[in-house]
Structures are given as C-alpha cells and as structure tokens.
Amino acid sequence: MPAPLRLGLAGLGTVGVGVVQIVQRHADLIAARAGRPVVITAVSARDRSKNRDADLSGYAWETDPVALARRDDVDVFIEVMGGHDGPAKASTEAALAAGKDVVTANKALLAHHGHALALAAESAGRVIRFEAAVAGGIPVIKALTEGLAANRIKRVMGVMNGTCNYILTRMQNAGLPYETVFEEARQLGYLEADPNLDVGGIDAGHKLSLLSAIAFGTQVSFDHVELEGIGNVSIDDINHAAEMGYRIKLLGVAQETGRGLEQRMTPCLVPADSPLGQLQGGTNMVVLEGDAVGQIVLRGAGAGSGPTASAVMADVLDIARGIRLPVFGQPAATLRAPVPAKSATPAPYYLRMALLDKPGALAKIATCLGEAGISIDQMRQINQPGEADDNAVVIFVTHKAAPADIAHAQSQFPATGVLVGQAVAIRIEAV
C-alpha cells in the first residue's frame, strides 16, 4: 500500500468537524478510491477545550495555524477557518512556501488574493483546490475546470447564497416582511456574524468572481462585481412578481461582452416555472452555458457541515490520486487582467412606484420612460392596502431596455411632481 496522504486541518468549526467525521467514517472507502490511505495527522483551532462532536484525541494540536502549515508530517494543508486576511492568508502562504498543497473552503481569501496565491502555488509546483468555496457540495469548480474544459463559456449564472434564498422563499411562502424573516434567519443561525456578508450579496459576489475567473480565463476581480443585496426587496414586490409568473432571487450573472467582463450579483425576477424560479430554501443552483454543451444546471446544498466537507474531501482525493491542475483551470501567468464592464446587456424590467392619483400622472411617467427610449410591455394599477386615498400604486413591465436607460428614467421621475417615495426597478433575467 502506498504511503498515506497526511492532512493538517486548520479550523474545527462546522466544516472542519465535518471533514474529521468523513475521514474517520469512510477511511476504507477513501483509501480504496484514492489508491492510498488518507489520514489527519494534526489540527489547529483557537480553543482546544471546546467540546466538539468528533474524536480529536489521535491528532497533534497546534494553536497557531502557521505552525501547522509548516509541520513535516503534513502533506496537504486544509484551511477552513475563514477570513480574507490574518491567520487564513498567513497560514496558506506558509503552507505553499513549505511545499504543501492547499485545500480551502475560503471564498473570501481567494476573491481578494486568489491570483497572487495561484502564482505562488504554481511557481512552487503546488496546487490550491477550492471546490468547497463555491456552492457547498455542488461540484461546480470541477465542472468548469474539467467537464467543460473544451467549451467556450458564454454565461455563468446562479443562486449562490442559501441564506438569501431562504429569506426570499420564506417571505413568499409565509407572506412575511423582510425584517421578520431576517430575524428568523438570525435566530436559526443562518446568518454570518456580519449579516451583510449574506444579505448584502458579498458572500455570493465572492463566489461569482471565482467562477468568472475560471470561466473566462481572467484574474479574479471581485472589486468589479456589481453588488446589490436583498434588504430592499419588499413582500409587495414578491407578491406582485408572483402574480405575473415570476420569483425574485438574488442572482449572480457573469458574461463577457464586446465591452468587457460583466459581473453582477443583484435581485432579479426569474420565471416561476424555471429551475431557478423553483429553487426553495437554502439550496443553491449554478447554471453554466457552453458553446458546445449548451446549458448545464447544477443544484444542491450550498452550505452546511456535510456538503461543504464533502467538497473539501473531493479535492483531497484528487490530490491523493495525483490529479494536479492549475488553480483557476489554466496557468495563473496566462490569466488576463479583466476589462471590467458595467452591466449594459438589455433586459425587461419590473418597475413599481406610487403616484399621486390625479389626471396626467401616468402620462408624465410614460413620457420619462419614452424619452429614455424605454417602451412599456405591461402596466397595471394596484389597490394597495394602507396607501393614502390620493396615491395609486402602478407597476410597469418594460420591453428590453439598457440598465443605463432605466437608471436615467428613474432619475427623471421625481421632477414630474407625481412620484410618491422612490420607484423600485428590478431586472427580469432570461433563464
């Protein structure tokens, strides 16, 4: 039997404990499939006394993850601590410098430092694998770097944050406002310590930037992802969208156009009968479109101990088998600096606004839309409970329009003197 592959595990939270449980529970299965035993030799976490649902007695312990990364009895350094700087970055760099391969679930680390780390790894003849960093247990990194490697990718799209999808589907199914469901999610432990990482779209934006780098052969460019969270999505918009046959999702879309690389993570309306529209709860879905293969839909658990640890161990088994690929699917030195482009791809839009209920109000809004080059596909007036008697809620669905034209029209609405509050505009995405 070949020598064991020895793992050093940094981080003993939900994912780290899941890795320990898989290694211990499936030792024989892993050895058979990898062609060699895979064992944990040492671990690291801040609190050694904490009660964890795993037997750690057989492992050496390091309080400092950098020391763990440098141990002679570690072949692969597994980083599941989180954070884009500090111990995660320092220990990953130390592992590469010490000649270790790295497996990480840390999307923030790679979104901020991925290109530099990839250059360091490949110059040292090491690999960094990060299947667990994007969409939990869904093997989307492997799909892009291996299964679809011969395709020119046309578009990457998906729901990549389970917490946001839980909140939006819970709002719709229970008819509850955002604030109520947000607090539910917090009580259930679904939200990050900084909730804005979830509901602000940052976590999902990290993931989209990593998929973009692989799909389009560019350096990671998280700073150029257009981000809009779900905090302004109202139960009224969810209900109106449902009446028209749509669902609202926090949707990531990346595509290359003649102007450059568009990356956006924003609330969108999608058809209710589409795979994305039917996605419920904390599940993730990624849609990949290749020129040869067409559209591929990957769906599964986007977070949690088992799914994320499963993805970590898939990377470990590839290393054990001797499968060694460039970090982002092609040599890091060949990745192009992206030309970032603000989203300009035309699409229909859902517009909701409250207007003073007086003659000529609709005509003034229609004039703003027309002057911006936007034509109206549908219009309806809603009897909104609680609205003042002299206000009318109006919903427009436009024909395809450029985002800049929608923004220009919105900027002109207040000058009409008939707008009450602010107009809401949500893109309708073709899926």
CATH of the domain at 411: 3.30.70.260
Residues 113, 155 share a domain? no
- Whether 207 is a known active-site residue: answer yes
- pLDDT band, very low/low/confident/very high, at 53 (cuts 50, 70, 90): confident
Q: Name the pairing type of β-strands 76-79 and 153-159.
A: unpaired
**Parent domain of 233:** 145-301
Q: Taking the CA of residue 283 as centre, how many other CA atoms within 13 Å lie in the half-sphere pointing to its CB?
A: 13
User: Does 176 share its domain with 58?
Assistant: no
Q: Please state the domain count of the chain.
A: 3
The pTM of this model reads 0.93
The DSSP string of 66-129 is HHHHT-TT-SEEEE-S--SSHHHHHHHHHHHHTT-EEEE--HHHHHHHHHHHHHHHHHTT--EE
Residues 353 and 290 in one domain: no
3-class DSSP string for 121-171: HHHCCCCEECHHHCCCCCCHHHHHHHHCCCCCEEEEEEECCHHHHHHHHHH
Lowest mean pLDDT among 22-36, 216-230, 261-275, 380-394: 380-394
Q: Which of 207, 358, 364, 400 is catalytic?
A: 207
| Residue 184 within any structural domain of the chain | yes
Cα three-residue angle 164-161-305, rounded to 5 degrees: 115
Considering the domain architecture, whether residues 128 and 164 belong to the same structural domain is answered as no
Asked, for residue 312, whether it belongs to a domain, the answer is: no
Q: Is residue 318 part of a domain?
A: no
pLDDT tens by residue, 292-307:
999 999 999 988 899 9
The whole-number pLDDT of residue 76 equals 98
Once rounded to an integer, what is the mean pLDDT over residues 70-82? 97
Residue 226 lies in a domain: yes
Residue 328 falls inside a structural domain:
no
Give the model confidence (pLDDT) of 270-288 as tens digits: 999 999 999 999 899 999 9
End residue of a domain, out of 268, 301, 334: 301
In this prediction, residue 190 carries a pLDDT of 85
**pLDDT at residue 386 tops 70:** no
Q: Is there a single domain that holds both residue 163 and residue 289?
A: yes
Per 3-state DSSP, the chain is made up of helix, strand and coil in percentages (nearest 5) of 40, 25, 35
pLDDT at residue 188 in the model: 84
The CATH code of the domain that includes 165 is 3.30.360.10
Same domain, 229 and 149: yes
Task: Give residue 58's pLDDT band: very low, low, confident or very high (50, 70, 90).
Answer: very high
Please state, as a whole number, how many other Cβ atoms lie within 10 Å of the Cβ of residue 351. 23
- Pair (42, 164) in one structural domain: no
Residue 172 falls inside a structural domain: yes
Task: Calculate what percentage of the chain has a pLDDT beyond 90.
Answer: 87
Is 326 contained in some domain? no
